[in-house]
Amino acid sequence: MGGSSKKQTVGYRYYLGMHLAICHGPVDAVTEIQVADRQAWSGNLSGSGRITLDKPELFGGEKREGGVSGAVDVAFGQSTQAPNDYLVSKIGSPQPAYRGLLSLILRQVYIAANNPYMKPWAVRVKRCFRSWHATKAEINGGANPAHMVYECLTNADWGMGYPSASLDDASFKAAADTLHNEGFGLNMIWLQQSKIEQFIKEIMDHIGGVLTTSPATGRFVLKLIRADYDVASLLVLDPDNVIELESYQRAAWGETTNELVLIYTKPDTFKETSIAVQDLANIQAQGAVVSQTRRYPGITSDSLASRVAMRDLAAVSTPLAKVRLKVNRQAWNLYPGDVFKLVWPAFGIEGLVLRIANVDSGTLTDGSISIEAVEDVFGLPAASYTGAQPTGWIDPVPEPTVAIPRRLIETPYWDLALAMSAADLDYLDPTDCYLQTLAGRPTPGAMNYELNSKTSSSPVYTPRAQAEFCPTAVLGAGLIQEVTSTTFYHSELDIDLVSVGGYAYIDNEVVLITSINTATQSLTLTRGVMDTVPAPHSAGAQIWFADGAQGVDPTEYASSETVNVRMLTTTGKGTLALNSAPTDSLTMNRRQDRPYPPGNVRINNVRYPLAAKNDLVISWAHRDRLSQTVSLIAQTNGNIGPEPGVSYTLRIYGETGSLRRTYSGLTGTSQTYSLADDTADSGLGRPNAALRIELEANRSGVISLQKHSIAFERAGYGLHFNDYYGGI
């Protein structure tokens, strides 16, 4: 505070030009870029173009690990895409156009400070296969699984490359329509490290479907395992067409599962979460919870996850019948996923609906067909009895947000005297001004804030200090002019950090905390200390427990200079961006150099009287800014000083608010205003019915920051006689 120092290198900023290949392109849109799991950009870019990252505080700003900022070219990989100019300038020509590939080109992007290691980047893209059955391609922001399978089978670049004629179009469209009606959209990616057949199987597991080939046409058939059949019209297998019932068995209760935990992807964060559903009757039957976990990472809907969990629970919690049988060629057109009805009188079976799991069509020499089937309970529930289960966990590390409330204060002489040495105080110029900031903690996880300031003539903000948040509260009841007050507060923040003996601001008045009870939320205050005087305050006024909790700008400012300030909240997730912070302004007023107003003001020996009669004796006590640096002085104290060169100005205002008399250059501690003077000044032929006095200190034209202003009625015969009959 009060000087400059030689600049030192404390760290380095790192910039990087880089070409990131993301996936096959083109895609529908790029919607988000994350760096180290933190959002660096979000939007909806639907074609090749340039975006700007503007998160220089993403990793805590330059005091920690910096952030990211700069221009990034997003190349969608269209068939007409030209070579990127930045890559040409750095690598030279000829340069590939990278068609058919979604990629990012970082044009010397600021990626970190104080840490030379590259953080992981992630890109969120949106893409649906729209070249077939386009109206049903997208489902609630996800892709239709039928379209995903269709493209995996037919894509000639990265898929299996089958011609579209190899697919049973009707079955695929029927499945696509059903999935669209169910709201069954998936969000998942295929990585070439795994076989595409495995990816298709994973999709089938998600949707409860079967991909097989038709024995009649040889085409791929997509069939969903749903309750989409009429039992009466099903093919009946009985002793007339069954060659042999090789096996029939029903699972025991002890072989079933009664709790299913489904792991899926949270829609807002795209991180794993889970939902658990239970079969209470099964739990009671087994006398214990038997749990099973299934992973469906492509599901990003809470409601869909709930319905799928119920679907799978029905399959694993019921003791289902399983059969293995051989039938004649009457079952030639049955394939996995189909259902049939079994009638077997010897076992008392009448119309048991079974779903085919596996079919062996036999050989040329053996025409029997072998079927493995299980009792059908698979239909996707139309309604679910489990709502989306909240995790109950709240991230304790919030995003940095704007500090509210906030205010700026010009530093008083008291604080400078505590912060500076005697030699520095002697060196202090009368016109030097300093700035303090006060900010309430916006969220429990906010750690501190960075104070940035500039004058109106400066082009950029400069970081000045790292500041702690200030405890605050709201005044529970209004305060009148008095020298001591007991009051209540509410809406407190960090009140546990407040200690007796510190000072606080209420509006522009400084008060001394003489007692605090956090249980009853009560305060006792010594009013009008330092360079302020007692003033009325309304209920709801902010109380700033500022002592030791100020942000301090060490810059020397000139009197009348306007300072603009932005306070950047810091949390574990970084520092608020400079452009996201509001601007607060304060004009310097030479506060530290102004004389203190007098103390212990009385009218006819009464502080803040409601009424006064006869001659008025207005008295006060000296105060000395230069010597009041050990403890905060109450209004009731006697003379201190005065500061050399200080005189006082007393003004008398009449009942209409007009100035009636001014006493200037007073060096004593009292002044009499007689009843005769009052009568002469009023112009009414009588004394004023009400008066107001103002009293301030003056040192060679430098006026005290505040002045006493006390209003009262006049009492006596003919002046509010009825109100004060019997005395005042």
- Helices 169-182 and 145-154: angle between axes, nearest 10 degrees: 150
3-state helix, strand, coil in the chain (%, to 5): 15, 40, 45
pTM (two decimals): 0.63
Pairing between β-strand 690-699 and β-strand 708-715 as defined by DSSP bridges:
antiparallel
Tell me the sheet residues that pair with 19: 105
User: Mean pLDDT: which of 205-209, 341-345, 531-535 is highest?
Assistant: 531-535
Inform me whether the pLDDT recorded for 3 exceeds 70: no
Inform me whether the pLDDT recorded for 386 exceeds 50: no
DSSP-based three-state secondary structure for 113? strand
Mean pLDDT along residues 646-661: 96
Nearest to 172 by CA among 137, 135, 220, 138: 220
Mean pLDDT along residues 248-271: 87
CB 293 within 8 A of CB 261: yes
Inform me whether the pLDDT recorded for 275 exceeds 60: yes
The C-alpha atoms of residue 165 and residue 433 are separated, in whole angstroms, by 83
Tell me the sheet residues that pair with 138: 143
Inform me whether the pLDDT recorded for 643 exceeds 90: yes
202-242 pLDDT per residue, tens: 999 999 999 998 888 889 999 998 888 888 889 999 999 99
Q: Mean pLDDT over all residues of the chain?
A: 90
Nearest to 510 by CA among 484, 487, 495, 529: 529
Inform me whether the pLDDT recorded for 348 exceeds 90: no
Give the sheet arrangement for strand 272-278, strand by strand.
272-278, 259-265, 291-295
The pLDDT value recorded for residue 190 is 86
The pLDDT value recorded for residue 559 is 94
Nearest to 311 by CA among 408, 421, 182: 182
Instruction: Quote the tokens at residue 167.
Output: 């697919």
Nearest to 472 by CA among 487, 493, 489, 455: 493
Inform me whether the pLDDT recorded for 39 exceeds 80: yes
The pLDDT value recorded for residue 389 is 56
Q: Name the band, by pLDDT with cuts 50, 70 and 90, for residue 378.
A: low
603-620 pLDDT per residue, tens: 999 999 999 989 999 999
Classify each residue of 45-79 as buried b or exposed e, where b means 16 or more C-beta atoms within 10 Å of its C-beta.
beebeebebbbbbbbbbbbbbbbbbbebbbbbbee
Q: Name the band, by pLDDT with cuts 50, 70 and 90, for residue 393.
A: low
Inform me whether the pLDDT recorded for 273 exceeds 50: yes
487-505 pLDDT per residue, tens: 999 999 999 999 999 999 9
The C-alpha atoms of residue 87 and residue 81 are separated, in whole angstroms, by 14
DSSP annotation of 667? -
The pLDDT value recorded for residue 285 is 87
| 146-153, long-range: CB < 8 A, 24+ apart | 146/172, 146/173, 146/175, 146/176, 146/179, 146/222, 147/176, 148/186, 148/203, 149/200, 149/203, 149/204, 149/211, 149/222, 152/190, 152/196, 152/199, 152/200, 153/200, 153/220
Q: Name the band, by pLDDT with cuts 50, 70 and 90, for residue 717.
A: low
CB 148 within 8 A of CB 298: no
The CATH architecture that domain 406-470+550-593 belongs to is Sandwich (2.60)
Inform me whether the pLDDT recorded for 181 exceeds 90: yes
Tell me the sheet residues that pair with 485: 525
The dihedral through the CA atoms of 513, 532, 647, 561 has a sign that is: positive
CB 565 within 8 A of CB 462: no
Rounded to a whole number of angstroms, the CA Rg of the chain reads 41
Question: CB under 8 Å to 468, separation ≥6 — which residues?
Answer: 448, 549, 551
Q: Name the band, by pLDDT with cuts 50, 70 and 90, for residue 645.
A: very high
Q: Name the band, by pLDDT with cuts 50, 70 and 90, for residue 589.
A: very high
The pLDDT value recorded for residue 5 is 43
Distances (CA, A) of 342 to 114, 218, 226, 330, 423: 73, 27, 19, 14, 104
As a CATH number, domain 228-251+320-380 is: 2.40.30
Question: CB under 8 Å to 359, separation ≥6 — which residues?
Answer: 334, 335, 336, 369, 370, 371, 372
454-464 pLDDT per residue, tens: 998 888 999 99
Q: What percent of the chain has pLDDT over 70?
A: 95
The pLDDT value recorded for residue 22 is 93
The C-alpha atoms of residue 145 and residue 722 are separated, in whole angstroms, by 91
115-150 pLDDT per residue, tens: 778 899 999 999 999 999 999 999 998 999 999 999
462-491 pLDDT per residue, tens: 999 999 999 999 999 999 999 999 999 999
CB 166 within 8 A of CB 220: yes
The pLDDT value recorded for residue 456 is 85
Which residue is listed with tokens 């990616």?
Answer: 189
554: phi then psi, degrees, rounded to nearest 5: -80, 0
Mean pLDDT along residues 95-116: 91
Tell me the sheet residues that pair with 30: 45, 125
DSSP annotation of 146? H
Tell me the sheet residues that pair with 124: 32
284-329 pLDDT per residue, tens: 888 899 999 999 999 999 899 999 999 899 888 888 889 999 999 8
Same topology between domain 406-470+550-593 and domain 599-715: yes
The C-alpha atoms of residue 568 and residue 565 are separated, in whole angstroms, by 10
Q: Give the CATH fold of the 599-715 domain.
A: Immunoglobulin-like (2.60.40)
CB 513 within 8 A of CB 545: yes
Inform me whether the pLDDT recorded for 524 exceeds 70: yes
For the chain, counts of helices (H) and of strands (E): 9, 43
DSSP-based three-state secondary structure for 230? coil
Domain boundaries, the chain: 13-126, 134-224, 228-251+320-380, 253-319, 406-470+550-593, 472-544, 599-715
Instruction: Quote the tokens at residue 490.
Output: 């509410």
CB atoms within 10 A of CB 401: 14
Inform me whether the pLDDT recorded for 569 exceeds 80: yes
40-75 pLDDT per residue, tens: 999 999 999 999 999 888 887 777 788 899 999 999
Inform me whether the pLDDT recorded for 696 exceeds 90: yes
Give the CA count within 13 Å in the CB-facing half-sphere of 157: 8
Q: Name the band, by pLDDT with cuts 50, 70 and 90, for residue 385.
A: very low
Q: Measured in whole angstroms, how far is the alpha carbon of residue 556 from the centre of its chain? A: 35
CB 361 within 8 A of CB 212: no
One-character DSSP codes across 509-551: EEEEEEEEETTTTEEEEE-S-TT-----B-TT-EEE--TT--E
The pLDDT value recorded for residue 189 is 87
User: Mean pLDDT: which of 108-117, 194-203, 346-355, 433-442 is highest?
Assistant: 433-442
Inform me whether the pLDDT recorded for 718 exceeds 80: no
Instruction: Quote the tokens at residue 363.
Output: 């050989």
